[in-house]
DNA sequence: CGCTGATCATCA
DNA sequence: TGATGATCAGCG
């Protein structure tokens, strides 16, 4: 999609940009940025997020860091239904399957990424052509104590399973607010993990995702 | 391959 | 019909 040099130097500047794109359609914003809008997202699944990244000046790339490192802010788009309910779970980060000695919630990638999130709601109904989908008013969220506790509980349960060689027993049904699901280009992608009796195995890469109920609560806090 | 950005599509 | 498991594109 291309790169965008200008990056906001502070949160106020970032939120000004957020306000500027609120209410625009993907088509209108894409035109400003000289980007072509796909007919659907069957192939370009990450297009919405990349468009918003470009518009807000987020640092592109595949670095396992926050989108705005200087501001300590992570950017997430959130596709909503007509009733303003999340249509998809939210990808958080890759799930580590090896090199787990001394790993702890406090220093985990999940906690770091969710410490401060800029949520940008977007219309997500599939019957709306991408060019006509409207961008909502983005907002900053930081997990409260209760939310932190829920996230930590799930993270620890899931990481315990990974450490104990039970990654193959993990399904998306585990975890109240955080789940683990496959995260790869296809089923052929394999990575190292721990198997039964601590034996090394190879398995599909996994990622952490926030359940829709959890992001729904975040929306409720802000928009009532 | 690892990781980002995510949504798709099948089946219970 | 909604959630789980699978998949698509790009980059270092």
Predicted confidence at residue A2, as pLDDT, reads 76
Among A63, A163, A52, A146, residue whose Cα is nearest residue A104: A163
**Separation of alpha carbons A80 and A84, rounded Å:** 5
* 3.40.50.620, 1.25.40.10, 1.10.540.10, 3.40.600.10: CATH of A11-223: 3.40.600.10
For the stretch A94-151, pLDDT in tens is: 999 999 999 999 999 999 999 999 999 999 999 999 999 999 999 999 999 999 999 9
CA A8 → C1' C5, Å? 37
A190 Cβ within 7 A of any nucleic strand B atom:
yes
Predicted confidence at residue A5, as pLDDT, reads 62
Greater confidence, A18 or A1?
A: A18
For the stretch A27-39, pLDDT in tens is: 999 999 999 999 9
**Separation of alpha carbons A55 and A35, rounded Å:** 11
CA A89 → C1' B6, Å? 10
Predicted confidence at residue A177, as pLDDT, reads 98
Predicted confidence at residue A61, as pLDDT, reads 76
Q: Is the pTM here over 0.85, yes or no?
A: yes
**Separation of alpha carbons A53 and A62, rounded Å:** 13
How much of chain A exceeds pLDDT 70, in percent?
Answer: 99
Reported as type and span, the H/E element at residue A157 is helix A145-163
CA A87 → C1' C2, Å? 10
Greater confidence, A61 or A182?
A: A182
Among A56, A50, A48, residue whose Cα is nearest residue A78: A48
Nucleotides in chain C with any atom closer than 7 Å to protein CB: 3-12
From residue A54, how far is each of A11, A51, A92, A171, A219 by CA, in Å? 16, 5, 19, 34, 24
Rounded to the nearest 5°, which phi and psi values hold at A194? -100, 130
Which residues of A spanning 5-64 put their CB closer than 7 angstroms to strand B? 40-42, 44-46, 48-50, 52-53, 62-64
Nucleotides in chain B with any atom closer than 7 Å to protein CB: 1-9
Query: In whole angstroms, how large is the CA radius of gyration of chain A?
Result: 18
CA dihedral of residues A183, A145, A13, A68 (deg, nearest 10):
-30
A159-180: average pLDDT: 98
Predicted confidence at residue A114, as pLDDT, reads 98
A33 Cβ within 7 A of any nucleic strand C atom:
no
Q: Residue A174: is its pLDDT beyond 80?
A: yes
A78-91: average pLDDT: 98
Do the beta carbons of residue A158 and residue A150 sit within 8 Å? no
**Separation of alpha carbons A116 and A140, rounded Å:** 7
A212 Cβ within 7 A of any nucleic strand C atom:
yes
CA A64 → C1' B3, Å? 7
Predicted confidence at residue A118, as pLDDT, reads 98
Among A136, A105, A131, residue whose Cα is nearest residue A22: A136
Domain boundaries, chain A: 11-223
Average pLDDT score, chain A: 96
Label residue A192 by pLDDT band (50, 70, 90).
Answer: very high
Q: Which nucleotide is nearest to A94 (CA to C1')?
A: B3
Mode of pairing for the β-strands spanning A90-94 and A178-182: unpaired
């Amino acid at each position: 999609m291309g790169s965008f040099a200008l990056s906001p130097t502070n949160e106020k500047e970032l939120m000004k940009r957020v306000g500027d794109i609120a209410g625009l359609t993907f088509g209108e914003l894409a035109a400003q940025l000289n980007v072509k809008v796909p007919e659907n997202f069957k192939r370009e699944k990450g297009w919405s997020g990349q468009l918003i990244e470009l518009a807000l000046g987020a640092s592109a790339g595949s670095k396992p860091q926050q989108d705005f490192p200087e501001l300590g802010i992570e950017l997430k788009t959130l596709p909503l239904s007509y009733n303003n309910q999340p249509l998809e779970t939210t990808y958080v980060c890759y799930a580590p399957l090896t090199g787990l000695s001394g790993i702890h919630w406090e220093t985990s990638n999940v906690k770091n990424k969710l410490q401060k999130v800029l949520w940008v709601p977007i219309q997500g109904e599939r019957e709306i052509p991408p060019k006509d989908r409207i961008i909502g008013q983005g907002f900053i969220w930081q997990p409260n104590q209760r939310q932190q506790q829920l996230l930590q509980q799930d993270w620890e349960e899931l990481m315990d399973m990974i450490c104990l060689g039970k990654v193959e027993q993990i399904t998306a049904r585990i975890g109240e607010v955080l789940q683990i699901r496959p995260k790869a280009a296809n089923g052929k992608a394999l990575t190292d993990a721990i198997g039964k009796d601590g034996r090394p195995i190879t398995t599909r890469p996994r990622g952490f995702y926030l359940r829709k109920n959890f992001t729904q609560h975040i929306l409720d806090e802000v928009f009532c």
